Chain A
């Protein structure tokens, strides 16, 4: 019984091993090879405002955000981008869609589900895309 079990195990594992051969990752590397780590990239202090590529895309952040605290106690982004403060600092105002809660009600201030800015808005480094992308903006957003 024990021998039979061992034999089956050997057979199964060899089949699995054989199946793995020739399988490539999306980055055209064999699965058992570790990708060399990419160099870390620095966020630029300031970046050009990138145009959005599709409707309702959260705009990218055109500046670095190191040390900007966004948590339960405070939200550094809103010290410039809130309705109250945007004019004073010449910042972009958050859109009113951020005031709507999940039941479609418009609140008088930022809705908790839209409070964590970096969930959708991110700064961008200058980096080569990892995989080719042929996406083109269309309609009103086309150049």
Chain B
């Protein structure tokens, strides 16, 4: 407590040895350096290489992603892990990153360290993502898939039928139908829309 009080007193006193210019400009530069470093580190955790550096991701979900349209397709456009799993907006991103500390915990204690453990947890993990995407109206899908640019006449008939009705009216969002498009599905017994 006394240490804190002393620290507070130092903070309140004007500087004796340093000029105002040094403190303001120095503080500004230090701020830029800190912010740059922080963002660089943050972005480093937002790469596929980072995600797949753990065997839990590399051997399960990443392998499952590879044959899907979001990994291999005719034009070579790729969605990587953070494109779907990390929000783009700063506040949401930080919130998601804070949630991700739970994943570090999981890594340390090996909650999904084997394929069997992962399969047992798959429904729970999938539901987390479905809930998130349902709540934000499939924002991560819509970052690339713009509804206003969908030409129903170019879509397959059964796709056009759903997109022009349920999706257009806002009654459904992408994730309601497009589950399991990038990874294997869990046991779907009891999930809405699946028998």
Contacts and interface: CB of A to CB of B under 8 A. Distances in A.
Interface of A: 45-46, 63, 66-67, 69, 72-76, 78-80, 82, 84-85, 89-91, 109
Contacts of B187: 72-74
Nearest to A68: B180
B186 interface: yes
Interface string B155-195: 01110011000000000000000001100111110000111
Contacts of A109: 195
Given A66-B69, A67-B68, A69-B184, A85 B195 contact: yes
B156 A74 contact: no
Contact of A67 (B69, B157, B193): B69
Contacts of B156: 45-46, 63
Contacts of A78: 194-195
B180 A74 contact: yes
Nearest to A78: B195
B195 A73 contact: no
24 contacts: A46-B156, A46-B158, A63-B156, A63-B158, A67-B68, A67-B69, A67-B181, A69-B184, A73-B185, A73-B186, A73-B188, A74-B180, A74-B187, A74-B194, A75-B195, A76-B180, A79-B195, A80-B158, A84-B195, A89-B158, A89-B161, A89-B162, A90-B158, A90-B161
Contact of B195 (A46, A82, A89): A82
Interface of B: 67-69, 156-158, 161-162, 180-181, 184-188, 193-195
B162 to A, nearest CB: 8
A72 to B, nearest CB: 8
Given A74-B187, A74-B194, A78-B194, 13 more contacts: A46-B158, A63-B158, A67-B67, A67-B69, A69-B180, A69-B184, A72-B187, A74-B186, A74-B188, A76-B180, A79-B194, A89-B161, A90-B161
Name the 7 nearest CB pairs between A and B, nearest first.
A74-B188, A73-B187, A74-B185, A46-B156, A82-B195, A45-B156, A78-B195
A84 B157 CA distance: 21
Contacts of A82: 195
A90 B156 CA distance: 14
A79 B193 CA distance: 6
Contacts of B68: 67
A74 B184 CA distance: 9
Contacts of B158: 46, 63, 80, 89-91
Contacts of B181: 67
B164 to A, nearest CB: 13
A45 B157 CA distance: 10
Contacts of B180: 69, 74, 76
A46 B194 contact: no
B1 to A, nearest CB: 58
B18 to A, nearest CB: 63
